[in-house]
Structures are given as C-alpha cells and as structure tokens.
Structure 1
Amino acid sequence: MTFAPPPETAAWRHVAARTGFEVVFFRPLESGPLEGGHRIEGCTTAVEDLRTWVVDYAIDVDDGWTTRRARITSRSAAGVRHTLLEADGRGDWLIDGAPAPHLGDCLDVDLESSALTNAFPVHRMRLAVGAGSAAPAAFVRAADLAVERLDQHYTRIPDEPDGDARGGPRYDYAAPVFDVSCRLVYDESGLVLDYPGLAVRAA
C-alpha cells in the first residue's frame, strides 16, 4: 500500500462523543536525524461531558511514519499541562525524560483528542488487502495527559466502497479496552475521512 504525500493541512469535525474541531498542518523534515519524515502540528478544541478543553500537539515521525517525538499541551479549567514523549523507533519510550516500560514495543502515539493520529499505524504498517496486525500505541488522555498503553488492531479490507462515494482505503479497527470496533475510511493520503462516533473530515 502506497499513500500520496500528506496535504499541507487537514481538519476534522468531532461528533457524538464530543463537540469540537481539529486542525492540523504537515511539514516535511528536510534535514537532521529524521530527514524524510514529517512534523505534524495540530490543535483540537472541544466540549465533552460539559467540560471544555484544548489540546495542542507537535509530533515528529520518521520516514516510515514511526513516532519519534510528541510534545503535547492541554488547557482546561483545571489549568495547563505539558508532556513530552520521546521514542527510539524500536519500542522504548521516555515520558518527560523518565523511562516508560509500560509502552514497550509501541511504535505510534495515539491522542484521545485527535482523529489525525489514526493515520500513523496505517502508514507505518502498509497492510495489503486482507492483512491485519496489532498496533499497540502510547495513548495520551486529553484532559490530564496521562499516558497509557492502548492495545489495538487494524485489518485492511477491500477498497471497493460498496456504494460509499467516499471510497478510499478502509480498515476494520478494534480497541477492546474501550469496547470499540468500527470501520475507518481513509483518503489517498492515509488520513481518516470517517471515524464513526468520533470525527468526520471537514477539509
């Protein structure tokens, strides 16, 4: 599976689980140890369970779309929080400089606040139709930036849209800890178009 280069910017409207909007910008990394990768900077503003919050993020991925660094800031009525995740690309992580063994063998960051981060595993794994794989991730909560291990699984299914005019690559996604099982529709750049119950692409 080969994806087109990411656009300069994309946006999602968050639905059902929360009311909100997410905007993201992509910049190629043209020098340094992550040359060929991307810096992805975004922001989600939302209302969820009558609480308001804002999450800003800057994520660096290498040329294989493996997460190498994520700087995240959360703002809410409780105050401002910051966290820094650093990864060696082989499954070892630091959280604010301290080893995080509970994230062992995770290669992606997954932000609770974001629809964008579901792009990382599909880019990284490049699954053939019919293939599936576990994709454990460093999952960052929106409100307090707690970092947990999230076990999840992606299976690529045939691209035929079955009457869905959006088309594009499709994956069956499961995150058992949240009792989530759904079908994710992506565009040619490997960005989610529709995440049922969470977000739809707006731009």
Structure 2
Amino acid sequence: MTTSRVLTWTVTASGGYETAWTETGEGLLRARGRAVGTLPEPYWVSYDLDTADGFVTRRLRVTVETAERTRSLDLRHDGRGGWTADGEPLPGFRDAVDCDLGLCPLTNTPPVLRHGLHRTPGERRLLTAWVSVPALTVRPSWQTYTHLGPDVRGTRVRFTSGSFRTEITFDRDGFVQDYPDLATRLT
C-alpha cells in the first residue's frame, strides 16, 4: 500500500520554506520537493529523491537557482556501494547508502525508516553522501541516529555528525516534525 503526503516546513536555517510531495510504501520512498531560501543568498531548490528496497538511496536530482547561476546535480547509488555525481565516480562513499541534502529535513527520513528508529530503541552510525546547498558539493559524512523515546509531538531521535548534535522529533510515519535550528513542520 502506498501512502501519499504533502509536508511543508519553515526552514529557519535558510530563512525560507520547503514543501515535499512524498509517496511511501513497502520499503520505498519517493519524493519531490521545492524550497526557497534567503541564506547565505537568495535561492530556489528543486529535488527528486528515489529510494530502493529498505529506503536505500538510488538517486537524488537537485537543481539550485541563484541570481548568478543555475547548478544541477545528479547523484546516483548503484546499490552495490558505487556512487556517481553527474556520471563521474565518487571515491570514499563505499559504505554509504543514504544521501543527505543540506538544509532539507526530508532526507533524515530514509535512515530512520530503514532502522525503525521512530518506533523502537536503537542506534545506528551511517556514512552518507552529504550535499551542500546552494553549492551542491558532495562529501562523505558520518552520522549517528539514536532513538531517545516519545515526545509530545512524536519520537525524539538524537542526531550527531562530527561535533554537531541535536534532538530531532519525528512523527509516527518517520518524517521530521521539528529539527531545532533547522526546520519546523507546519500543520
């Protein structure tokens, strides 16, 4: 069974908003999103995310438009550890199965869904292909998700990456409700 949802966040970190149209079902997530930001400069973002079985990233297509230029990125994972950016191999991502689009609360959902961290205790350390916005550069990023328990709005999950640490609240379906200093979902 496929479930469709439209989610909108106020993205305080970019001084803007994001809306994502999502479809989930049987270990798959497909999403298309649009965002507008004003920090570090005014920009528009459009993205399409497709995952394979187990919510593993297959493809992320992103376009960013600023006053000076338009950038695009086609990030692909072959399901066997190989990653490419615009058709060029990306070394150093062999253990990564997730992408993480900067300033985008939606891309925290696949690892949480895959490991059920919005419902059950556990901790997972994961390598991701992190994509900066608005530059669209890709770099490896080790991230840890730790289930902390229920919250008034859902389930709290600690997120750490390097020295960065925060507690994200996810709803019962595994989507971000509140990501302190980054985004809050509008109801």
TM above 0.5, yes or no, is: yes
1:169 is aligned to: 155
Q: Which has the larger radius of gyration?
A: 1
More RCO (CA 8 Å, sep 6+): 1
Task: Report the TM-score, using the length of structure 1 for normalisation.
Answer: 0.84
Distance, in Å, in 2 between the alignment partners of 1:118 and 1:134 is 13
Match of 1:200 in 2: 184
- Identity across matched positions, percent: 32
Give unmatched runs, 5+ long, in structure 2.
none
Q: Are the structure 2 counterparts of residues 13 and 86 from structure 1 closer, same or farther at C-alpha, using a change threshold of 3 Å?
A: same
Once the two structures are superposed, what CA deviation does each residue of 1:67-126 show, in whole Å capped at 9, x if it has no partner? 101111011123001110110223321111111112221111100131111111101222
Task: Give a deviation string over 1:111-145, Cα, whole Å, max 9, x none.
Answer: 01311111111012224744211121111111121
TM-score, normalised to structure 2, is 0.91
Partner of 1:182: 166
The CA distance in 1 between the partners of 2:142 and 2:185, in whole Å, is 25
Q: Which has the higher strand share?
A: 2
For the aligned residue pairs, the C-alpha RMSD in angstroms reads 2.0
Tell me what 1:52 maps to.
42
1:158 maps to 2:149: yes
Q: Which runs of no fewer than 5 residues in structure 1 stay unpaired?
A: 30-34
Which of 117, 138, 141 matches 2:132?
141
How many residue pairs end up in the alignment?
A: 186
Letter matched to residue 8 of structure 2: A
Query: Aligned AA for 1:126?
Result: G
Q: Which residue of 2 aligns with 1:74?
A: 64
Cα distance between partner residues in 1 of 2:159 and 2:80? 23
CA contact (8 A) 1:169 1:188 kept: yes
Q: Give, in angstroms, the shift of residue 36 of structure 1.
A: 6.2
The range that moved more, 98-107 or 182-191, is 98-107
Q: Tell me the distance in 2 between the aligned counterparts of 1:130 and 1:24.
A: 27
1:20 alignment counterpart: 16
Residue 151 of structure 1: CA displacement?
1.0
